């Protein structure tokens, strides 16, 4: 059956040329000393979890610090983890039991020199168990963690001269440990389980007097399937990698880093599934611009955040760039004043916006959380397949509480309509058949999920699968 490509420009986004989303609110957390955050995410209750370190609270010189907030950034609880020496957290993720998994490094436990530090908590941050891992005698750092499909955990980090992955059971007991790279120098930063059950890990690879992006793809046991380096004659460092919906990967970091730390720009590399480069993009002002975190957006583009040196007040700003599918800039924005602000992590939120995690330093250094409004560009260019002699209409858009889905498809025996939120979670679905259909078939969605609960305001993807093809529309749902 033939098909045509249709580009759908949706509601008010039609008149907005890649407008920067508004800032809804910002929050700061910490005490009278230095406090910084490196990672976190939106939680299932609509709030946020943030991981970093504190010199203001806790038992030691520096402790792991985790803050849980509500949906508007008000702190619900904060916990410190560690002992009498230096301990810091780099990543926190919600787990399927409603608790959290946290990774970082510790000098208080293990070797006394940095060991990878893995902490499992319950829903209110109380410790369930901790584990330390020391692959070498020094410099063991855990930078990223996530729960795996089998209920265990995967940790990405580094040890002396190697990237490292650690796979554990759900109770934290080690399943396997793998190292990647050579004795020249390899440094891991980011790990993710991939759709085939394996893993992708990213970092930097030192060779011939310069650093390059370094990606390693493994199977489910951590055995290498392929490796690839990216970059040029200058220093290039990779800090974030994610699998993309086409089965490839997007990696972000910096290129052109000089020994005085200036001259750097944001550097993005898009690959296909075997690591071959599809395109690269560079953004910045040739000062000190480094990307620390990247995520794919619902329309196939990317959101990336990091830091940028502001020559006017001679300090760092948070720098955020939104790109299209080919890595070209849709919009960019800087946040900062006369202190220093770093953006360490960016995540999509369920309303179609973003949360940025980092730190700010004016009179003192505090953890910084910024919530951006829904991004119109996420629903501006929704490309989909439409069957010949068919109609697929979703109205009204935006919708206030109720959505009508019109299907007028010839010679289709079965169809399935699914509604996902902007994070890819299935909200509800409808199945049916239309033999010898005459006139449109109408489905009604009342803004509720499978369990009858009203969903939050925000952007949703409505897809219809029929005759081997998928049609899709992005809609904005607003309750009264």
Are residues 408 and 343 both part of a single domain?
A: no
- Nearest Cα to 332, choosing from 292, 283, 287? 283
Q: Tell whether 152 is covered by a domain.
A: yes
Report the CATH number that the domain containing residue 224 is assigned in CATH. Answer: 2.130.10.10
Q: Tell whether 120 is covered by a domain.
A: yes
Length of the chain: 480
Q: Which two tokens stand for residue 331?
A: 């919009």
Are residues 38 and 179 both part of a single domain?
A: yes
Q: Tell whether 3 is covered by a domain.
A: no
3-class SS of residue 208: coil
Contact (Cβ atoms closer than 8 angstroms) between residue 177 and residue 133: yes
Are residues 370 and 384 both part of a single domain?
A: no
Name the residue range of residue 407's domain: 380-477
Report the CATH number that the domain containing residue 450 is assigned in CATH. Answer: 2.60.40.4070
Are residues 414 and 352 both part of a single domain?
A: no
Q: Tell whether 9 is covered by a domain.
A: no
Q: Tell whether 11 is covered by a domain.
A: no
Are residues 24 and 129 both part of a single domain?
A: yes
Are residues 266 and 408 both part of a single domain?
A: no
3-class SS of residue 12: helix
Please return the burial class of 129, using the count of CB atoms within 10 Å of its CB with bins 0-12, 13-18 and 19+.
Answer: exposed
Q: Which two tokens stand for residue 17?
A: 């040329």
Distances (CA, A) of 355 to 137, 345, 349, 411: 37, 8, 7, 45
Domain boundary among 337, 356, 375: 375
Are residues 244 and 360 both part of a single domain?
A: yes
Are residues 329 and 449 both part of a single domain?
A: no
Q: Tell whether 233 is covered by a domain.
A: yes
Are residues 110 and 199 both part of a single domain?
A: yes
Are residues 390 and 256 both part of a single domain?
A: no
Domain boundary among 375, 391, 408: 375
Q: Which single residue is written with the structure tokens 């690839």?
A: 228
Are residues 384 and 371 both part of a single domain?
A: no
What is the full per-residue pLDDT of the chain (480 aa) written as tens digits? 222 222 232 333 333 346 899 999 999 999 999 999 999 999 989 899 999 999 999 998 999 999 999 999 999 999 999 999 999 999 999 999 999 999 999 999 988 889 999 999 999 999 999 999 999 888 899 999 999 999 999 999 999 888 999 999 999 999 999 999 875 566 777 999 999 999 999 998 887 677 889 999 999 999 999 999 998 877 888 999 999 988 999 999 999 865 445 568 999 999 999 999 999 999 987 678 999 999 998 778 999 999 998 888 888 999 999 999 999 999 999 998 778 999 999 999 887 889 999 999 977 899 999 999 888 776 544 444 444 445 678 888 778 778 888 877 665 567 888 898 877 778 999 887 665 555 567 889 999 988 888 888 888 888 887 766 677 788 888 765
Q: Tell whether 286 is covered by a domain.
A: yes
pLDDT at 453: 86
Terminal alpha carbon distance of the chain? 42
Are residues 297 and 218 both part of a single domain?
A: yes
3-class SS of residue 80: strand
Sheet of strand 302-310, all strands in order from the earlier edge strand to the far edge: 290-296, 302-310, 315-323, 329-335
Q: How many independent structural domains does the chain possess?
A: 2
pLDDT at 381: 41
Domain boundary among 311, 346, 375: 375
Q: Tell whether 255 is covered by a domain.
A: yes
């Amino acid at each position: 059956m033939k098909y045509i490509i249709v580009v759908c420009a949706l509601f008010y986004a039609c008149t907005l040329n890649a407008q920067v989303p508004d800032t809804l609110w910002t929050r700061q957390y910490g005490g009278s000393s230095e406090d910084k955050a490196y990672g976190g995410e939106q939680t299932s209750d609509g709030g946020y979890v943030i991981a970093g370190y504190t010199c203001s609270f806790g038992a030691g010189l520096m402790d792991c610090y985790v803050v849980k907030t509500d949906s508007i950034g008000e702190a619900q609880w904060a916990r410190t983890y560690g002992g009498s020496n230096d301990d810091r957290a780099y990543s926190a993720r919600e787990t399927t039991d409603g608790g959290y998994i946290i990774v970082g490094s510790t000098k208080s436990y293990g070797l006394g020199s940095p060991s990878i530090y893995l902490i499992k908590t319950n829903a209110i941050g109380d410790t369930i168990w901790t584990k330390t891992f020391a692959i070498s005698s020094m410099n063991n750092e855990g930078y990223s963690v996530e729960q795996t499909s089998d209920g265990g955990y995967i940790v990405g980090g580094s040890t002396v001269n190697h990237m490292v992955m650690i796979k554990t059971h759900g109770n934290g007991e080690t399943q396997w440990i793998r190292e990647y790279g050579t004795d020249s120098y390899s440094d891991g930063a980011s790990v993710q389980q991939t759709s085939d059950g394996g893993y992708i890990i990213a970092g930097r690879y030192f060779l011939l007097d310069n650093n390059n992006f370094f990606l390693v793809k493994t199977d489910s046991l951590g055995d290498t399937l392929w490796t690839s380096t990216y970059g040029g004659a200058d220093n290039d460092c990779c800090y974030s990698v994610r699998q993309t919906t086409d089965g490839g990967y997007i990696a972000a970091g910096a290129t052109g880093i000089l020994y005085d730390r200036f001259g750097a720009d944001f550097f993005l590399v898009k690959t296909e599934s075997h690591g071959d480069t599809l395109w690269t993009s560079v953004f910045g002002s040739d000062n000190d611009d480094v990307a620390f975190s990247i995520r794919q957006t619902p329309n196939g583009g990317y959101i990336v955040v990091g830091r940028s040196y502001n020559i006017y007040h001679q300090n760092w700003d948070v720098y955020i760039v939104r790109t299209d599918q080919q890595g070209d800039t849709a919009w960019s924005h800087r946040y900062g004043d006369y202190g220093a602000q770093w953006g360490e992590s960016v995540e999509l939120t369920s309303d179609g916006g973003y949360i940025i995690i980092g730190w700010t330093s004016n009179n003192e250094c505090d953890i910084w959380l910024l919530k951006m409004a829904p991004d119109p560009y996420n629903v501006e260019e929704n490309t989909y397949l439409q069957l010949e002699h068919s109609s697929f209409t979703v109205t009204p858009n935006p919708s206030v509480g109720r959505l009508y889905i019109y299907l007028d498809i010839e010679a289709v025996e079965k169809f399935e309509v699914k509604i996902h939120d902007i994070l890819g979670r299935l909200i509800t679905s409808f199945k049916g058949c239309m033999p010898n259909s005459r006139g449109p078939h109408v489905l009604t969605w009342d803004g509720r999920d499978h369990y009858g609960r009203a969903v939050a305001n925000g952007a949703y993807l409505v897809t219809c699968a029929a005759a081997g093809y998928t049609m899709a529309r992005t809609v904005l749902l607003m309750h009264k």
